[in-house]
Amino acid sequence: MLKKMNLWKNQNNSSSLRDRIQQIIDHEVPSHVAIIMDGNGRWAKKRALPRVAGHHEGMKVVRKITKLANELGVKTLTVYAFSTENWKRPKMEVDFLMKLPEEFLGTFLPELIEENVRVEMIGYMDKLPEHTRKAVSKAMEDTKGNTGLVLNFALNYGSRAEILDGVKRVLADVQSGIMDEDELNEEVFSSYLMTKELNDPDLLIRTSGEIRLSNFMLWQLAYSEFWFTDVLWPDFNEEHFVEAIEAFQSRQRRFGGV
């Protein structure tokens, strides 16, 4: 597996990073990693660039981390690309963010296909602009047979809305007799969420020093390990990802037990 990796060629600490990667692979790799990619605006501001320049740089980081996660054997990588609250941003920024999936997939889809990555999405797709919807749907269709990493975009996603919609659908199913109220348990309720096909995240990463969930996967993160870093998302690299997974591997998960 390591032979495939040419990521580290020009880095001074290449051998130690390679060793660390091998160590990771030899231990339990988190099956589902979710990332709140924060700090694009501040990254741009520090460089006197428009905020959207930070988003554009952040898009390239998604590619790098997807590649590495796939090579490490992570099964699902969920990236929070646009929240239901992000519509409040200036129109120009929203328009830019809505074009990023097209640019990302337009550029990298062949590579994702070659790497056996499957593209998925959670979020309210029908409220996305048509061009965004088309790009994501095409990628999902073109990669549906792939068996490697699932790259799951949270796009126009909001966890409270997701949970409320789930509750409404449960009520409708109970009222119409499709489901008995007594059958409702955590597992059944999970199947009413947008993540019904996915395991819950094992590890949540948030960049940029903010320590909050921002309406992201509130149900699904109940037992996840959290890892926060001050690094701004456009500066996040393979070494940071390795560090997060090492931290995960050093923790003892008890799921409420002892």
18-26, 34-42, 136-144, 180-188 -> range binding ligand FPP (CB under 6 A)? 34-42
- Cβ(98)–Cβ(132) below 8 Å: yes
Rounded Cα distance, 69 and 118, in Å? 13
Active site residue 12: no
Q: Is residue 41 a contact point for ligand FPP (CB under 6 A)?
A: yes
Residue 95 CB, nearest approach to ligand FPP (Å): 13
Q: Is residue 158 a contact point for ligand FPP (CB under 6 A)?
A: no
Active site residue 200: no
Among 29, 30, 34, 40, indicate the residue that binds ligand FPP (CB under 6 A). 40
Q: Is residue 241 a contact point for ligand FPP (CB under 6 A)?
A: no
User: What amino acid is encoded at 252 in this protein?
Assistant: Q
Residue 101 CB, nearest approach to ligand FPP (Å): 4
11 or 215: CB nearest ligand FPP: 215
209's CB contacts (< 8 A; 6+ apart) are 39, 228, 229, 230
Q: Scan residues 204-223 and list those touching ligand FPP (CB under 6 A).
A: 208
- Cβ(56)–Cβ(100) below 8 Å: yes
Q: Is residue 136 a contact point for ligand FPP (CB under 6 A)?
A: no
Residue 174 CB, nearest approach to ligand FPP (Å): 36
DSSP H helices in 90-225 = 91-114, 130-142, 159-175, 186-190
Q: Which residues of 113-148 are buried (b: 16+ CB within 10 A; e: fewer)?
A: bebebbbbbbbbbeebeeebbebbeebbebbeebeb
Among 39, 123, 148, 158, indicate the residue that binds ligand FPP (CB under 6 A). 39
125's CB contacts (< 8 A; 6+ apart) are 133, 136, 137, 155, 156
**Which is catalytic among the residues 38, 40, 70, 152?**
38
Q: Total binding residues for ligand FPP by CB under 6 A?
A: 18
Six token digits for residue 202: 């094992």
**Residues acting as catalytic residues:** 38, 86
Residues that bind ligand FPP (CB under 6 A): 37-42, 55, 58-59, 62, 81, 86, 97, 100-101, 104, 208, 233
